[in-house]
C-alpha cells in the first residue's frame, strides 16, 4: 500500500500513480532481461527450526508491490516463523524495482511478487507470462470515501462534487461505472489530480471524495475519529469485486520449478493462516520487520483485515474463475484491455495446500 510512517493516503496516491504507469506502459514487461534488483525490505531472517538438516535451502526472492503493510503480513510471518525454511526455502523479501514487481517476475529477477488482478489481466493480454497463484484478500475492500459531514452517501451524490485521484483510466472507468449503476451523470463530477496529496488534508481543502482501501485509510479515519461515508465498488456490481492484491509468479517458474512454487505456497498459506488466527501476534511480526510503521494503525488494520484474508472462501488464497471472467469482461468493455483475457491462463489454484 504505502510507506506508512508518512501519510497513508499520500502513499496510496503514489501507488496509484505507479499502477497507472504499469497499466499504461506495459512495454516494460517485454524487457525480460532488464528488471533490475530491488532493495531488501526490512525484516527478520526467520527462525530455523530445530533439528533441520539436509540439503541447502533453495533461494527465492519475493517482491512487494510497495512498502511493507498489512497486505503483506502473511509473507513476513512465514519468514519470521521459519515456515519457508521448513519447506526448504530461504526467502528474501525485496522492494519492487523501477519497472514494477511484475517486470521483475517476468524477467526472472524475482520468483514471486505481490500484484493486482487488473495488472495481471493487462499484462497477460500483452503477452507477459505472469500468473496469479493466490488471492491475498477474498473481496475488494476499496470504495469512494468522503467525510460524513459532506453527506455523500450514494453515487448520485457525486454529482456536483469534486473527485480527487491520480488520473488512471481504470480509476475513471470505476467512477463512471458506479455512477451509471445509480443512474447518475459522471459528467457532472469535477475531477482533479491530487498527486501526492494526503487524503485527510485534501478533503479539508481541495476535494469532496476519493478512492481508498478501507483496510488502511478507513481504519486511519476511525483512529482519527473522522467518520467517513464509503461507496464500496463491490456493492454495485459483482464485476467490481475483483482480487486486489494477488501473489504472482511466472509461467517459467510453474513449468520448470513447480516444486518451488508448491513449497512457497505451502509456507505462505501458513503465514496468512497464522495472521488470520493471531492478528495481534501477526501485527507484532510485521512491526518487527518494519518498525517505522504506525503501531496503532498496524494493529487496528490487522485486526480488521485478518478475517477478510480468507473470508467466505474454502481456503486462503482461493481464486474463482467467475471473478476473473467478470472483471476481465468489464475491463474489455471499458477499453482497458486490448483483447479478451484468457482467464484459464491468468490464474491457478493448483499450488494452494488443502484448506481447513
Express each pLDDT in 140-150 by its tens digit: 999 999 999 99
When pLDDT is averaged across residues 267-294 and rounded to a whole number, the result is: 98
Cell numbers linked to 330: 468489464
pLDDT: which is higher, 117 or 51: 117
- pLDDT computed for residue 35 by the predictor: 36
- pLDDT computed for residue 250 by the predictor: 98
- What is the rounded end-to-end Cα distance, in angstroms, of the chain? 29
* DSSP letter assigned to residue 352: P
d(C-alpha 136, C-alpha 43), whole Å: 20
d(C-alpha 277, C-alpha 55), whole Å: 32
Q: Sort 123 into a burial class: Cβ within 10 Å, 0-12 / 13-18 / 19+.
A: buried
Which residues fall within 8 angstroms of residue 162, CB to CB, at 6 or more apart? 189, 190, 191, 192, 206, 207, 208, 209
CATH class of 31-138+242-346: alpha beta
Mean pLDDT, the chain, whole residue set:
87
Q: Does residue 294 carry a pLDDT above 80?
A: yes
When pLDDT is averaged across residues 246-255 and rounded to a whole number, the result is: 98
Q: pLDDT-derived band of residue 315, with 50, 70 and 90 as boundaries?
A: very high
Shortest CA distance to 256 belongs to which of 120, 54, 111, 103?
111
Task: Enumerate the CATH 3.40.190.10 domain ranges in the chain, comma separated.
Answer: 31-138+242-346, 142-240
CB contact at 8 A, 62 and 91? yes
Could you report the per-residue pLDDT of 192-229, keeping only the tens digit for each? 988 766 788 888 888 999 999 999 999 999 999 999 99
* DSSP letter assigned to residue 247: E
Provide the whole-model pTM: 0.86
d(C-alpha 244, C-alpha 230), whole Å: 18
**Is the CATH number of domain 142-240 1.10.1060.10?**
no
Q: Please, what's the largest Cα pairwise distance for the chain?
A: 67
Shortest CA distance to 162 belongs to which of 129, 192, 200?
192
Amino acid at each position: 500500500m504505502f510507506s506508512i510512517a508518512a501519510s497513508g493516503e499520500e502513499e496510496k496516491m503514489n501507488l496509484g500513480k505507479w499502477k497507472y504507469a504499469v497499466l499504461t506502459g506495459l512495454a516494460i514487461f517485454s524487457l525480460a532481461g532488464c528488471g533490475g534488483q530491488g532493495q531488501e525490505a526490512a525484516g527478520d531472517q526467520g527462525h530455523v527450526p530445530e533439528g533441520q538438516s539436509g540439503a541447502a535451502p533453495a533461494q527465492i526472492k519475493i517482491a512487494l508491490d510497495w512498502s511493507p503493510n498489512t497486505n503483506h503480513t502473511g509473507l513476513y510471518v512465514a519468514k519470521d516463523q521459519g515456515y519457508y525454511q521448513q519447506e526448504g526455502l530461504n526467502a528474501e523479501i525485496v522492494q519492487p524495482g523501477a519497472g514494477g514487481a511484475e517486470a521483475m517476475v517476468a524477467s526472472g529477477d524475482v520468483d514471486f511478487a505481490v500484484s493486482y488482478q487488473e495488472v495481471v489481466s493487462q499484462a497477460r493480454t500483452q503477452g507477459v507470462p505472469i500468473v496469479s497463484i493466490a488471492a491475498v484478500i477474498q473481496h475488494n475492500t476499496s470504495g469512494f470515501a468522503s467525510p460524513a459531514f459532506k453527506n455523500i452517501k450514494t453515487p448520485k451524490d457525486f454529482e456536483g462534487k469534486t473527485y480527487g485521484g491520480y488520473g488512471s483510466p481504470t480509476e475513471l472507468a470505476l467512477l463512471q461505472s458506479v455512477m451509471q449503476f445509480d443512474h447518475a451523470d459522471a459528467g457532472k463530477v469535477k475531477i482533479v489530480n491530487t498527486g501526492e496529496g494526503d487524503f485527510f488534508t485534501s478533503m479539508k481543502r481541495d476535494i469532496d471524495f476519493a478512492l481508498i482501501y478501507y483496510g488502511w485509510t478507513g481504519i486511519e479515519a476511525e483512529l482519527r475519529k473522522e467518520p467517513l461515508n464509503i461507496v464500496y465498488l463491490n456493492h454495485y456490481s459483482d464485476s467490481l469485486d475483483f482480487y486486489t492484491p494477488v501473489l504472482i509468479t511466472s509461467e517459467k517458474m510453474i513449468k520448470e520449478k513447480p516444486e518451488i512454487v508448491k513449497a512457497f505456497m505451502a509456507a505462505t498459506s501458513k503465514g496468512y493462516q497464522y495472521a488470520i488466527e493471531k492478528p495481534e501476534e501477526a501485527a507484532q511480526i510485521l512491526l518487527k520487520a518494519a518498525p517505522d510503521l504506525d503501531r496503532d494503525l498496524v494493529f487496528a488494520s490487522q485486526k480488521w483485515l485478518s478475517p477478510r484474508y480468507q473470508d467466505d472462501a474454502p481456503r486462503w488464497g482461493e481464486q474463482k474463475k467467475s471473478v476473473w471472467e467478470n472483471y476481465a469482461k468489464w475491463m474489455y468493455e471499458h477499453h482497458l484491455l486490448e483483447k479478451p483475457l484468457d482467464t484459464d491462463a491468468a490464474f491457478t489454484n493448483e499450488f494452494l495446500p488443502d484448506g481447513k
